Chains A and B, each alone.
Chain A
Amino acid sequence: MSTPLSRRIFLKSGALALASLGFAPAFGPRFLRDVAFAAESNRPSRGRKVLICVFLRGAVDGLSVVVPHGDANYYQLRREGNGGIALPRTGDGAVLDLDGTFGLHPALRALQPMYKSGHLAPIHAVGSPNPTRSHFDAQDYMESALPGDKSGANGWLTRALANCPEDVRKRAAQIDKAANGEKARIRAVSMTSQLPRSLGGDASALAIADLSDFGVGKGAPPAKPMNRRERRNASTMRSADPTGGFESLYSDAVGDVLHGTGQETFGALKLLENLAPNRYVPARGAVYPRGRLGDSLKGIAQLIKADVGLEIGFAEAGGWDTHVNQGGSQGQLARRLQELGDGIGALWNDLGDAMADVTILTMSEFGRTARQNGDGGTDHGHGTCFLALGGGVAGGRVLGKWPGLAPEQLYEGRDLSVTTDFRSVFGEIAARHLGVRDLGAVFPNFKSDPADFRGVMRT
């Protein structure tokens, strides 16, 4: 038990046993970090911080994510039981109480241990100062972090990356050189088929919808039956070169978007050549939920472990626009939340000790009406709820200022009011997690005052 190797083996099997009992998340990274995984060999980030953003597109009903079950008005605005969308305080499908006032949606039970261990901080009544109820404008404003400004500026994550302190960047680059020779780094990746607005304007950010499809001529399907002459002429299309010989097509130093993307793509193909995503086995028995979000989070975990220099991981999930039959502890929204909670829970388990350097932030463009509508759903609203998780998150409490749900407290008489500007959450994470010093450059037209920070990150 004294050598690092044997200790690691012991701890790994120990963690597996815990996972199979369903306890692993409860003991989570704190246990892992403090006791077990000091000897883990693939410590991924070497102190480099990683931010994983999970954008819930379509406006998630924040009042169902972290339920204000202690606010009597909540049960006035929403019905319980058949056709109702309120989550009960007790009994079947009850909220998972956090602090007597708020409770997690029962479908998010995978996240409850993180709250208990002080690594999950919900931020409630967060949103944009801009009143738009258009998904598309609101997403745009949130991703540029410039509410009301349609000048098409670059994304906030792009600006955050560009403003990481010089010394940190240099140190990171030196580590990379030592570790990877002269290979390029992948600083930002979005697990989507198109680059999200948040990373817009960063020519080096990659969009990779699916790691296992990211290769040229990989797993080419068998050709149709051909005659001999055709067989002779047809290419096998396999090549020792991971870029398949296509790289020189995009070698021209033309500064347009197509060539820029081409060069980044071929660089990444070489870097990821040996990743073998199909053979990836998550650590500690972590099981990602089926579907796009689970795949995205798994891909990000894999890139973090592969030590490609990742600082930003971006994932997204749709299906939150619950105008009709939203459901309560079960149903449409519950299924989406289950996928979200299980996905983050799996990532947490999979990364283990590395979560010390990782912060996960969920976000959504706005919330939904406080009152349920005639179709057992909710319409476009205003304030919503974000979740921050990670080793450095000062969790175990619900952050933000609760505006209340009384008629006169609702925004325009219908929606949860916004008491925390989303930029102050972004700003705090940029400053205290990514190490950005000049917040003014990342959030122009917004006074990022540390005194206004909600206390998401441990200082």
Chain B
Amino acid sequence: MKPTIACLSLALLALSPPILAAPPELEAAPAASAKTDAAFSRPLKGEKRFAHILNRLAFGPRPGDIEALRQSGIKPWIQSQLSPETIDDSALETRLASLSWLRESPERLLLAYESETAAFLRRMKKAEKGEIAAPQLNAAQQKLQERIEVATLPEHASVRALGELSVDKLARAVESKRQLQEVLVDFWGNHFNVDINKGAVLALKIRDDRDVIRPHVFGSFRELLGASAHSPAMLVYLDNARSTREMTARGGQKRGGLNENYARELMELHTLGVDGGYSQSDVTEVARCFTGWGLDRETGTFFFRARAHDEGPKTVLGQKIGLGGKKDGEKVLDILAASRATARFIARKLCVRFVADNPPTALVERVAAAFSRSNGDLKTTYRAVFEAPEFLSEGAYRAKIKSPLEFTVSAVRALGGSLEIVQANPRGMRLLTVGASSLNKGGKGNKQRSAQRPLATEIALMGQPLFACQPPTGYAENSTKWVSSSALVARLNFALSLSSGRVADVVLTRDTFKATAIDDLARALLNSDISAPTRATVEAEAQKSPGDGARLHALLLSSPEFQRR
């Protein structure tokens, strides 16, 4: 193991905050699943390959998927997934067309957010002071108020809009035929994480998903990085919209100033990795290069404020930067995207997502080389992962534990379910974003708990609320992080709810409740590869309560095997 790679791999381990995975010694215990490098050189054979590919490049198999993959052959199937435009997904697109907020202009989305914030502030003031005098609005507030009145937005519009994005994401994960695209949108959306609980990100995330992540996942890394750097959601989330050179106001006081937040995370999390060889001075210099990158609060789009830009000379990673204006930031992105450290960092993260929590060093090196050689062409990089023997190896098979998103969506897919495309209920959306804690407040909480919850809320309760990861790391790719008592209990309960038709927006066919022969069930849910204890448990249960098909399904979905992918 070369030292640099060792450092990088550890850097990634350190990236799974706020809480880390169970440490390696747990995984390294003499266990059936302990994957040594030797296991990565034993090719996966037979049926297992099909389930494996569908568990990695898709959110698990739906009924009939394994057969279809066998028919088409592995290589052509991967090839078509890498070119999603060749796959007809029109049936789903038609269903999703009713989610009209996803096509709204950034201007209206942002206005919806501003209008609700203004209304909220008015309510707060009223609560504090008893009643409000005629509100003292300054000129800008006055103008905003007028725009809000003209726009005639429905109530809770921005929360509704976000609810639509969540329905859209889950429906695509469950039903889209372009599965790899959805897996990659999830991966890169998580890599360039923004948290909807931070100010206007709530409204801006929608365009971030549509315009920043989605169109670029099969393009070049530099373009994706550039799109993210220009993304209003990111500019707000990591505070760059507020970072300016030090300026002097009319009165002579200083105003504005540098904010290092984006500069640091850009290098630590988006490109070089924490051990990628940058210093505190590089952080400050990069922040200076990005001064002035912000958004137009009226249109909700990117806007470069030349007046706020620091035009002084700068040095980043030993390179002088003096093009001036917006080009300073672009130059930084060029340098970072072309860095060898970035190639390794991205390569390793992809290998951790698609191969194993501790991928073989040689594989990471090869993928990094493919990234560098192709100037960060993502399709070339993905191919280097998917065509690697380590990817289709015993070492990779069931080596990853599913995240809550992967677990729940794969369970719905395994049962052949679909998602109801409904206008999101703003109340439900709020629950989704605040997570588990507020669900348990006295009598009200009990009522909510006994009500059926939508899929997005179930995922949030397992610790992975959609679009709402607070730290800029995004959710950990190291999958042992998702193993805990709390998580396990939540998964068992979800399996029970799902298989008895108790997840609010999941539609299952009636056949799901039928008692089926255990072998058929095992084939359908786990590709027949089930352990002795699982088989014994299901058989015992089948004898105890014959005809209780839902319970048998729940047991299989709760099995250790189904927690892995």
Q: Which chain A residues have a beta carbon within 8 Å of chain B's beta carbons?
A: 55, 57-58, 133-137, 139-140, 143, 150-155, 192-197, 200-201, 203, 206-210, 212-224, 226, 230, 232-235, 237, 244-246, 248-252, 254-262, 264-265, 268-269, 278, 290-292, 295, 316, 318-319, 323-324, 373-375, 377, 379-380, 412
Compute how far the CA of A251 lies from the CA of B25 in the bound complex, rounded to whole angstroms: 21
Given contacts A201-B23, A237-B496, A257-B22, contact A193 B484 (CB under 8 A): yes
Q: Is the CB of B451 within 8 A of A139?
A: no
Q: Mark B13-50, 1 if CB is under 8 A from A, else 0.
A: 11111111111111101111110000000000000000
Residue of B nearest to A193 (CB): B463
Q: Is the CB of B549 within 8 A of A233?
A: yes
For residue A268, which residues in chain B have a CB less than 8 angstroms away from its CB? 485
Q: Is the CB of A210 within 8 A of B440?
A: yes
Q: Is the CB of A150 within 8 A of B34?
A: no
Given contacts A134-B274, A237-B554, A248-B536, contact A213 B14 (CB under 8 A): no
Is residue B144 within 8 Å, beta carbon to beta carbon, of the partner chain? Answer: no
Q: Is the CB of A261 within 8 A of B488?
A: yes
For residue B537, which residues in chain A have a CB less than 8 angstroms away from its CB? 245-246, 248-249
Compute how far the CA of A207 lies from the CA of B485 in the bound complex, rounded to whole angstroms: 5
Identify which of A217, A261, A412 contacts B280 (C-beta below 8 A). Answer: A412
For the A-B complex, the count of residue pairs with Cβ-Cβ distances under 8 Å equals: 290
Identify which of B25, B34, B254 contacts A256 (C-beta below 8 A). Answer: B34
Identify which of A140, A217, A224 contacts B501 (C-beta below 8 A). Answer: A224
Q: Mark B230-271, 1 if CB is under 8 A from A, else 0.
A: 000000000100111010000000111111110010001000
For residue A213, which residues in chain B have a CB less than 8 angstroms away from its CB? 436, 439-440, 449, 461, 486, 489-490, 493
The stretch of B113-121, B206-214, B221-229, B540-548 that contacts the partner chain: B540-548
For residue A137, which residues in chain B have a CB less than 8 angstroms away from its CB? 14, 274
Q: Is the CB of A150 within 8 A of B11?
A: yes
Q: Is the CB of A374 within 8 A of B257?
A: yes
Q: Is the CB of A150 within 8 A of B260?
A: no
Identify which of B258, B501, B560 contacts A258 (C-beta below 8 A). Answer: B560
Is residue B487 within 8 Å, beta carbon to beta carbon, of the partner chain? Answer: yes
For residue B13, which residues in chain A have a CB less than 8 angstroms away from its CB? 150, 152
Given contacts A217-B493, A259-B560, contact A193 B513 (CB under 8 A): no
CB distance from B123 to the nearest CB of A (A): 17
For residue A207, which residues in chain B have a CB less than 8 angstroms away from its CB? 484-487
29 contacts between A and B (CB under 8 A): A57-B18, A133-B280, A135-B18, A136-B268, A152-B10, A154-B25, A193-B463, A195-B22, A203-B26, A212-B449, A219-B450, A220-B493, A222-B450, A224-B502, A233-B548, A233-B549, A234-B550, A246-B537, A248-B536, A252-B533, A254-B31, A254-B33, A258-B401, A262-B560, A265-B488, A265-B489, A290-B438, A290-B441, A374-B256
Q: Is the CB of B259 within 8 A of A214?
A: no
Is residue B467 within 8 Å, beta carbon to beta carbon, of the partner chain? Answer: no
For residue B280, which residues in chain A have a CB less than 8 angstroms away from its CB? 133, 412
Identify which of A55, A195, A256, A316 contacts B29 (C-beta below 8 A). Answer: A256
Given contacts A152-B24, A195-B19, A233-B547, contact A379 B513 (CB under 8 A): no
Q: Is the CB of B257 within 8 A of A375?
A: yes
For residue B246, which residues in chain A have a CB less than 8 angstroms away from its CB? 374
CB distance from B357 to the nearest CB of A (A): 10
For residue B432, which residues in chain A have a CB less than 8 angstroms away from its CB? none
Is residue B87 within 8 Å, beta carbon to beta carbon, of the partner chain? Answer: no
Compute how far the CA of A380 lies from the CA of B265 in the bound complex, rounded to whole angstroms: 12
For residue A196, which residues in chain B have a CB less than 8 angstroms away from its CB? 18-20
Is residue B2 within 8 Å, beta carbon to beta carbon, of the partner chain? Answer: no
Question: Sorted from nearest, which 8 A-B pairs have the closest CB atoms?
Answer: A374-B257, A193-B463, A207-B484, A150-B10, A197-B20, A292-B437, A235-B551, A256-B31
Is residue B559 within 8 Å, beta carbon to beta carbon, of the partner chain? Answer: yes
Q: Is the CB of A215 within 8 A of B489?
A: yes
CB distance from B18 to the nearest CB of A (A): 4
CB distance from A207 to the nearest CB of B (A): 4
CB distance from A303 to the nearest CB of B (A): 13
Further 8 A-B residue pairs, CB within 8 A, beyond A217-B492, A323-B239, A375-B259:
A57-B471, A155-B23, A212-B440, A230-B501, A237-B500, A278-B446, A292-B437, A375-B242
CB distance from A196 to the nearest CB of B (A): 5
CB distance from A155 to the nearest CB of B (A): 8
Residue of A nearest to B548 (CB): A235
CB distance from B479 to the nearest CB of A (A): 10
Residue of B nearest to A195 (CB): B484
Given contacts A133-B280, A207-B486, A213-B461, contact A154 B274 (CB under 8 A): no
For residue B482, which residues in chain A have a CB less than 8 angstroms away from its CB? 194
Q: Is the CB of A246 within 8 A of B31?
A: no
Compute how far the CA of A201 lies from the CA of B94 in the bound complex, rounded to whole angstroms: 49
Given contacts A197-B19, A252-B532, contact A210 B492 (CB under 8 A): no
Is residue B452 within 8 Å, beta carbon to beta carbon, of the partner chain? Answer: yes
Compute how far the CA of A58 lies from the CA of B17 in the bound complex, rounded to whole angstroms: 10
Residue of A nearest to B552 (CB): A235
Interface residues in B507-521 by Cβ distance below 8 A to A read 510, 513-515
Interface residues in B276-325 by Cβ distance below 8 A to A read 280, 283
Identify which of A153, A217, A232, A269 contacts B496 (C-beta below 8 A). Answer: A217
Q: Is the CB of B483 within 8 A of A257?
A: yes
Compute how far the CA of A119 lies from the CA of B11 in the bound complex, rounded to whole angstroms: 39
CB distance from B274 to the nearest CB of A (A): 6
For residue A203, which residues in chain B have a CB less than 8 angstroms away from its CB? 26
Q: Is the CB of B436 within 8 A of A235?
A: no
Residue of A nearest to B481 (CB): A194
Compute how far the CA of A102 lies from the CA of B186 in the bound complex, rounded to whole angstroms: 48
For residue B446, which residues in chain A have a CB less than 8 angstroms away from its CB? 219, 278
Q: Is the CB of B27 within 8 A of A209?
A: no
Identify which of B436, B497, B510 contacts A220 (C-beta below 8 A). Answer: B497
Q: Mark B462-491, 1 if CB is under 8 A from A, else 0.
A: 110000001101000000111111111110
Is residue B558 within 8 Å, beta carbon to beta carbon, of the partner chain? Answer: yes
CB distance from A391 to the nearest CB of B (A): 28
Compute how far the CA of A27 lies from the CA of B499 in the bound complex, rounded to whole angstroms: 54
For residue B533, which residues in chain A have a CB less than 8 angstroms away from its CB? 248-252
CB distance from A330 to the nearest CB of B (A): 11
Q: Is the CB of B449 within 8 A of A219?
A: yes
For residue A234, which residues in chain B have a CB less than 8 angstroms away from its CB? 500-501, 513, 548, 550
Residue of B nearest to A243 (CB): B492
For residue A292, which residues in chain B have a CB less than 8 angstroms away from its CB? 435-437
Is residue B340 within 8 Å, beta carbon to beta carbon, of the partner chain? Answer: no
For residue B19, which residues in chain A have a CB less than 8 angstroms away from its CB? 192, 194-197, 316
Compute how far the CA of A221 lies from the CA of B257 in the bound complex, rounded to whole angstroms: 52
CB distance from B87 to the nearest CB of A (A): 32
Is residue B524 within 8 Å, beta carbon to beta carbon, of the partner chain? Answer: no
For residue A264, which residues in chain B have a CB less than 8 angstroms away from its CB? 485
Is residue B366 within 8 Å, beta carbon to beta carbon, of the partner chain? Answer: no
Compute how far the CA of A197 lies from the CA of B31 in the bound complex, rounded to whole angstroms: 22
Q: Is the CB of B485 within 8 A of A323?
A: no
Residue of B nearest to A196 (CB): B19
Identify which of A150, A221, A323 contacts B7 (C-beta below 8 A). Answer: A150
For residue B375, which residues in chain A have a CB less than 8 angstroms away from its CB? none
Q: Is the CB of A200 within 8 A of B20?
A: yes
For residue A245, which residues in chain B have a CB less than 8 angstroms away from its CB? 537, 541, 555
For residue B510, which residues in chain A have a CB less than 8 angstroms away from its CB? 230
Compute how far the CA of A305 lies from the CA of B451 in the bound complex, rounded to whole angstroms: 31
For residue B445, which residues in chain A have a CB less than 8 angstroms away from its CB? 212
CB distance from B275 to the nearest CB of A (A): 8
CB distance from B468 to the nearest CB of A (A): 12
Q: Is the CB of B438 within 8 A of A233?
A: no
Q: Is the CB of B10 within 8 A of A136?
A: no
CB distance from A197 to the nearest CB of B (A): 4
